[in-house]
Structure 1
Amino acid sequence: MITLRNVHSEDLQDLLRIENEAFLKKEAATKEAFEERIQMIPDTFIVAEKNGEIVGYINGPVIQQPYITDDLFKRINRNPEKGGYQSILGVAVDKRARKQGIAKILIRKMEELVKENEREGITLTCKLELVPFYEKLGFANHGISKSQHGGVVWYNMVKMKEDIK
């Protein structure tokens, strides 16, 4: 069974291992970025556990615009209580725990937080090969992002609050 909880500072090493399995070095969040996210946005940094082991996570700050900008990978602010868009800067699952629906469970948790905190919706960027995955989850493809993060072509994916069931 998968359980979800808010991040703790002692999770850092496991989170970095999973991050570096899931993303190329030029795309992966740095240790410093994770430390800042753990400190600043623990309310939207969710960890998935199975049998007491971390098997995945999702994180991102609340932002005021519907698209992710590259500055978010360097510096974030604390989340406002209400409003804004829930961004997802990272969602990753341990390679040994993939294909079990964990990413979907984590995204559903963010959707709950959107409803609870009266957010406008959820926004993320992904590579072309993941667009169909997010579309199946109800996200709309808003085209190529202006993000240059990691030198990759990213797509803006948005799910508005009225589309969250």
Structure 2
Amino acid sequence: MSLSKFTIRKATLSDCNAIAAVEATCFPPAEAAKHEDFQKRLERYADYFLLMFDGDKLISFVDGFVTDIPDLNDKMYEDAGMHNPNGAWQMIFGVNTIPEYRHQGCAEKLLRLFVQNAKVEGRRGVVLTCKEKLVHYYAKIGFVDEGISADSTHGNVVWNQMRLTF
């Protein structure tokens, strides 16, 4: 399947319901951000969401904010006010693709574009956390595994912090 048939754009507040629904499909309840969380994020930093659509259907998205804090921590997920548009580090909070569109390159395309945007904006790099089973996936895009995060345990899960430095 060609990714060229899909549309990619930044988010708006009106995308909140679709974003929350995709997140709920992609993550267990203890790990998924809630509608209210996305509403606060979109109010503060909608430009830091990249969405992929098949027609009118949201199929994949990447989101996060910018900060001078170099390591991702759980407070960042909860406090959209920590976003600093002039910050050094682009954080990624979520990489989501609905099940029927996985393994087709959707998330990778969005991730590469998200990383490129951060580079163009003059960031020092991009930071995310992921489960051990996904370390190899992010490594192929250029992220380096920094080991188990001491600052992120949301959902009572062990997360590896990964960084791509420019």
- TM-score between both structures, scaled by the size of structure 2: 0.91
CA root-mean-square deviation: 1.4
Distance change (3 Å), C-alpha of 1:148 and 1:65: same
Deviation at 1:81, TM superposition (A): 4.4
For 1:76 and 1:10, the matched residues in 2 are separated by 18
Identity %: 32
For 2:65 and 2:42, the matched residues in 1 are separated by 11
Is residue 159 of structure 2 the alignment partner of residue 151 of structure 1?
no
Q: For the Cα contact (< 8 Å) 2:91–2:127, is it kept in 1?
A: yes
Q: 1:92 aligns with which of 91, 96, 100?
A: 96
Is residue 152 of structure 2 the alignment partner of residue 160 of structure 1?
no
Q: For the Cα contact (< 8 Å) 1:127–1:155, is it kept in 2?
A: yes
The letter of the residue matching 1:136 is: K
> For residue 13 of structure 2, what is the aligned residue in structure 1?
9
SS at match of 1:77: helix
Question: How many residues are treated as equivalent by the alignment?
Answer: 161
Q: 2:44 aligns with which of 40, 43, 59?
A: 40
* Cα-to-partner distance string for 1:26-83 (whole Å, 9 max, x where unaligned): 0000111100111111111111112232111111010212221110111023754444
Is residue 58 of structure 2 the alignment partner of residue 54 of structure 1?
yes
Q: For the Cα contact (< 8 Å) 2:92–2:127, is it kept in 1?
A: yes
* Cα-to-partner distance string for 1:117-164 (whole Å, 9 max, x where unaligned): 100000000001111100111100000001111100000000011xxx
For 1:76 and 1:13, the matched residues in 2 are separated by 18
> For residue 112 of structure 1, what is the aligned residue in structure 2?
116
For 1:149 and 1:79, the matched residues in 2 are separated by 19
Alignment of structure 1 residues 116-155 onto 2, 5 Å: 116-146=120-150, 147-155=152-160
Alignment of structure 1 residues 54-73 onto 2, 5 Å: 54-73=58-77
Unaligned runs of 5+ in 1: none
Deviation at 1:2, TM superposition (A): 2.1
For 2:140 and 2:88, the matched residues in 1 are separated by 24
Q: For the Cα contact (< 8 Å) 2:64–2:90, is it kept in 1?
A: yes
The letter of the residue matching 1:132 is: H
The letter of the residue matching 1:76 is: A
